[in-house]
Each structure stands twice: as C-alpha cells, then as structure tokens.
Amino acid sequence: MKKAFVTSIGEPTTELCVWSLERQGFEVELIQDSSSLAQKLKVIYDKADCDFLRVDADVVVNRKVKLLELSGNAWWVQAQCFDIYKMDIMYGGIQLIGKNCLPALRKHIGQQLLAERPETAMFRLEEFYSPRRCQSVELVCGLHGYRNDTTRAKATKQRREQQSDYDFDLADRLLELN
C-alpha cells in the first residue's frame, strides 16, 4: 500500500479528499490544523520514511493518481489538476515525493517556514537540478477547489497579482449550484 499525506486547514473537501485517496489504495495520514503549509511539510518530511503522495485537502483525486510514478532520475513528480477557479488545468495540489529526496527536504525546510509558497521553493532546490530530479507530468489526477470558498483564493491571487488567470465569477456561480 502507498502512503499519502493530506494537508488541511479545514477545507470542506477534506473528508472527500481522504476518502478519494483511500479508495485508490492509499494509507492516508491527515495533517489538519492552523499551522502554515511549511510547518505541515516539516512534519511530513520528518515522519516520511518511504515514497509518498502529498495532497492538498482542496483536491479530490481521481483514479489516475495511481499512475504517478518516480521514473528514471525523478525524486519528485508534480501532477496536474483541473482547477475550478481557473476553469483550466494547472500544476499543483498533488506531488509524488521519493524517499531519496528526504535528506534535502529535511535540510532546507527550516529556511522556508515563512515562505508564501514553501513547496514551490522546495521543488526548486539546487540538489534537484544536477541532474534534474523533479518533473511535472501531464496527467490530470484530481479536481481542485470544488465546494471551497473563493474568498481566500481571491485574496491570495490578488496578493500575487494573478487575478487575470482566474474566473472567480464563474467559480462563485458554480459553487451556488445545489
């Protein structure tokens, strides 16, 4: 059985995220509290002792998640999701992380405790680029943002000046459907 860690701040899809992973054969450990993503990642990196999946609780995985694999020199594989806020495919929310990269992740996570995007910073570690150890694969493994409040996402995207990439009006109307 494969291991999956789910990070949550109480998203409404948390239970569905865990269930969707369990039904695909993953042993799931939920890390849910008000701490930052970087703090949650530190907990995961300290606990992990094998290859594992790391999933945001606002992602509902599909059966394609079982197709993710660490091939060749890959230590980290970034999957795609269909993003309800963008109404498009995006990278993020699901990562397959190999045990070979755990020493580097443990070494550097302390430097990312205040980073806005700690996982992105970890994905870009120098140790993963000589030779290249991280890959992004064109495999849509889940649905991102379903039934979640757009308020937080809007604020984040505004702060990052990324609003033009998103269709929050459509997302809000979809979320109003029963």
One digit per residue, pLDDT tens: the chain, 178 residues? 699 999 999 999 999 999 999 999 999 999 999 999 999 999 999 999 999 999 999 999 999 999 999 988 899 999 999 998 888 999 989 999 999 999 999 999 988 888 878 888 888 888 888 788 889 999 999 999 877 767 777 777 778 777 777 777 777 787 787 5
Q: How far apart are CA 69 and CA 132, in angstroms?
A: 16
**DSSP character string of 130-144:** TTB-EEEEEEEEEEE
Q: How far apart are CA 61 and CA 10, in angstroms?
A: 17
pTM for the predicted model, two decimal places: 0.89
Q: Can you say whether the dihedral through the CA atoms of 102, 106, 111, 117 is positive or negative? A: positive
User: Could you say which of 3.10.50.40, 3.40.50.720, 1.20.140.10, 3.90.550.10 is the CATH number of the domain covering 2-147?
Assistant: 3.90.550.10
